[in-house]
Amino acid sequence: MERLSGMDASFLYLETPTQMLHVCGLIILDGSTIPGGYSFAKLRDELAVRVKAMPNFRRRLQDSRFNLDHPVWVDDSDFDVDRHVHRIAVPAPGGRDELSELCGSIASQPMDRSRPLWEMFVIEGLEDGSVAVMSKMHHANVDGVTGANLMSQLCSLEPDAPRPDFDQLPKGAGRGNALDIAVGGLLSFASRPLKMVRLLPESVTLLPRWIGRARKGEAMPTPFTAPRTSFNGAITGHRSIAYQELPLDDIKFVKNAFGVKVNDVVLTLCAGALRRYLESRDELPDSSLVATVPVSVHDKSDRPGTNQISVMFTQLGTDIADPVERLHFIAEHNAINKDHHNEALGATLLQDWAQFAAPATFGSAMRVYAKLRLAERHPVVHNLVVSNIPGPPLPLYFLGARIKQMYPLGPVFHGAGLNVTAMSLEGRLDVGLVSCQELAPKLWELADAFPAALDELVTAARAQAPTQKQRTAPR
């Protein structure tokens, strides 16, 4: 058995019937590239073979009432791929509205914790003949990097690439029983006071150091200082999904013209789209929206667990009308915020404190918080989550089918009912948007604002560098 880290387990404890903490992904496939042509049975059977070598797909949760520590992963002895892979059809005519509504319904359903925490829905009936796959994986089992790595194990660079060598299968989670879980939990629980003593000195100085940096203009935004918008409230269990595809060459052209980073441009696109969306609703705040940006620490942390993440707060400059001024503002503050994050939180501080998360306390507190709609009674912690995941620049084939688009879809939280996640792949930036349906019911209006936000940056970049070679992909 493998005990969950505190960070992994926190995504279980913080889950409520309306705050479901699974991550999703929508892949649009060209089934004609599959050798011999597409069929659901062929896709399912190939997936069944591949997951034999993927322990994350075959492990489930197990716990004991006497366990004082986090639950454990064990191998599912009754694993059956047919419980996880489903065949459905999108309603006619099979356009983006019908597909996004169907995917929103899938994202609104909680996961069965008695089974391995993943599902895939193969969606047929799209109007252009494509096949879509909507995946769901619980955040306790994946973060952005591990989720992308898992999907990469189902992909190849050629449609007829040979299967991986399964002669030596990776070690699974193993078995566990109530006594082993309880005894291991007791030993871990007994060591917590010493671990807390070691953490306190660094943590006690966090606030004074944050204040000191803020006085010098070198700090991240502080929590609870974000302006309130319509998507900052208590969320329901209903999800809306939208998506947008952008040419990566245009984004790199802007990056080169203004001497910034790709991530700066992506955040500026998000800010520009949000500004248009909020202006159209006559609710653009006078101050900048604040985004929480997940930060991967896989290459810096030595702590156990799947979720190797920290978080950074950043201003989006939505109060700045000029797109170029907004881009430079974001680039400048991104550098400041990154330095502050590394100095204040480091790679492991959040992971270390998460080890002390207690399921009864966290779970009860989260249910009370949701029931009393407390997210609407205190200042806004942050407005939304924005994440950017780098992907390969080459064509990818999912079980033999060429990937046309891949839209990552993250979770939303009480108080921040909007998530924007982007992923680069084969010369595109695929942007996935998820919201609480009641808080942002017209999510396509926000998705459709992204191309206009990019156009204004490209126009400004052309004026900035008229002699630079312009590589603008057709829309």
Contact 275, 284 (CB under 8 A): yes
Nearby residues of 140 by Cβ (< 8 Å), 6 or more positions away: 4, 8, 9, 11, 12, 21, 61, 117, 306, 307
Contact 316, 284 (CB under 8 A): no
Half-sphere exposure of 176 (CA within 13 A, CB side): 25
Contact 306, 8 (CB under 8 A): yes
Spot the catalytic one: 139, 328, 333, 382.
139
* 155 alpha-carbon distance from chain centroid: 20
Determine the residue type at 378: H
Residue 55 CA: distances (Å) to CA of 60, 185, 454: 10, 23, 40
* 298 in catalytic set: no
Nearby residues of 365 by Cβ (< 8 Å), 6 or more positions away: none
Alpha helices in 119-172 (DSSP H): 144-152
Contact 320, 359 (CB under 8 A): no
Residue 306 CA: distances (Å) to CA of 32, 53, 134, 290, 369: 35, 17, 22, 27, 27
- The whole-angstrom separation of Cα 354 and Cα 306 is 13
| E strand or H helix that includes residue 403 | strand 401-409
Contact 350, 7 (CB under 8 A): yes
Contact 272, 457 (CB under 8 A): yes
Contact 102, 126 (CB under 8 A): no
Residue 263 CA: distances (Å) to CA of 319, 423, 465: 19, 11, 20
Catalytic residues: 139
